[in-house]
Amino acid sequence: MDTFALIATIAVALFFTYTNGFHDSANAIATSVSTRALTPRAALAMAAVMNLAGAFLGSGVAKTVSQGLIQTPEGSKGMGILFAALVGAIAWNLVTWYFGLPSSSSHALFGGMVGAALAGGTTVYWDGVLDKVVVPMFVSPVVGIVVGYLVMTAILWLFRKANPHKAKRGFRIAQTVSAAGMALGHGLQDAQKTMGIVVMALVIADVEDYGDPIPVWVKIVCAVMLSLGTYAGGWRIMRTLGRKIIELDPPQGFAAETTGASIMFTTAFLFKAPISTTHVITSAIMGVGATKRVKAVRWGVAKNIVLGWFITMPAAALVAAGAYGLVNLAFL
């Protein structure tokens, strides 16, 4: 039963990673596709490859997820908590994907972990949740808007005398690089989150210790599942990010992607903070769009997106708590 519980939990973790991939593929490529810098399939293939590469660039985010948010639960009860946390995250990913809402898969996972831990009587490290999740949740969108606005302002000033058609053609080419950077950052951030969950499952099953390096097979399967999900594509969310917030042109797309990628690399390497790629790219698009004129941004759409951000953690936590109750009745 213990072996079965471990295998089932890892399988659900990998399915979460797959949903993360198709839910968040828009983060990496929506701007490039909407500006026609890349065709949809070429963009998805590039994003899948860069997601795979990004997963191997570090392990700081994985450590934060596996050790910094909740106390590692023990035994079959602990595996049930982890299983329920993943069910909560998957449920929220599927609901928001269906409605085309670019919510955060990361915060769905964190909400699921907190909800399942509370339902199962496991200690939640509230300082860790505050420092690594809540504060970045508020700070990263503000940074994304401000930096996106400044980057786009700098581009407008530097190319103020350039031929508009030549400039757009050049930025369309440059967007292949900036989109690749976004996808690399997405792999660096989001594949590691699932790695942290799988490592926690292995520790609960007494197969690994936290002092051990992350097994290579864990890195490979998490990276591959994220890449497969990314290649599947999240077309509903892609339309929201690429066209509903603002109609982007190539310079704006380049500015948004460069801003998003820079923030993701900085937070992963310097702060080991698991930030939301969704929050970063969406806010960067808002900041870039505001340089045209503030009313150019469809703030009504933006408001709905931001409201979705705030209810993601509580909603996933409630589903996870309910899932733990069912698991507890059926198996524990």
Asked if residue 275 belongs to a domain, the reply is yes
The CA distance from 91 to 25, in Å, is 18
Contacts of 255 (CB under 8 A, 6+ apart): 148, 151, 152, 155, 284, 288
Give, for all 332 residues of the chain, the pLDDT tens digit: 588 889 999 999 999 999 988 777 666 677 777 778 888 788 888 888 888 898 888 788 888 888 889 999 888 899 999 999 999 999 998 988 888 777 788 899 999 999 999 999 999 999 999 988 888 888 988 999 999 999 999 999 999 889 988 998 999 899 989 989 988 988 888 888 999 999 999 999 999 888 888 999 999 999 999 888 888 766 666 665 555 556 678 898 899 999 999 999 988 888 777 888 878 888 898 899 888 776 666 667 667 777 878 899 999 999 999 999 999 887 76
List of long-range contacts for 321-325, beta carbons under 8 Å, 24+ apart: 321/84, 321/88, 321/115, 321/116, 321/118, 321/119, 323/83, 323/84, 323/87, 323/88, 323/116, 324/80, 324/81, 324/84, 324/115, 324/116, 324/119, 324/120, 325/119
Residue 2 CB neighbours (<10 A)? 12
Report if pTM > 0.85.
yes
Q: Which domain holds residue 224?
A: 3-323
Asked if residue 329 belongs to a domain, the reply is no
CA distances from 248 to 9, 21, 286 (A): 41, 23, 10
- What one-letter code names the amino acid at 179? A
The CA distance from 211 to 209, in Å, is 5
Asked if residue 221 belongs to a domain, the reply is yes
Asked if residue 332 belongs to a domain, the reply is no
Asked if residue 79 belongs to a domain, the reply is yes
Task: Indicate the number of domains in the chain.
Answer: 1
Asked if residue 105 belongs to a domain, the reply is yes
Asked if residue 224 belongs to a domain, the reply is yes
Tokens describing residue 323: 């899932």
Asked if residue 330 belongs to a domain, the reply is no
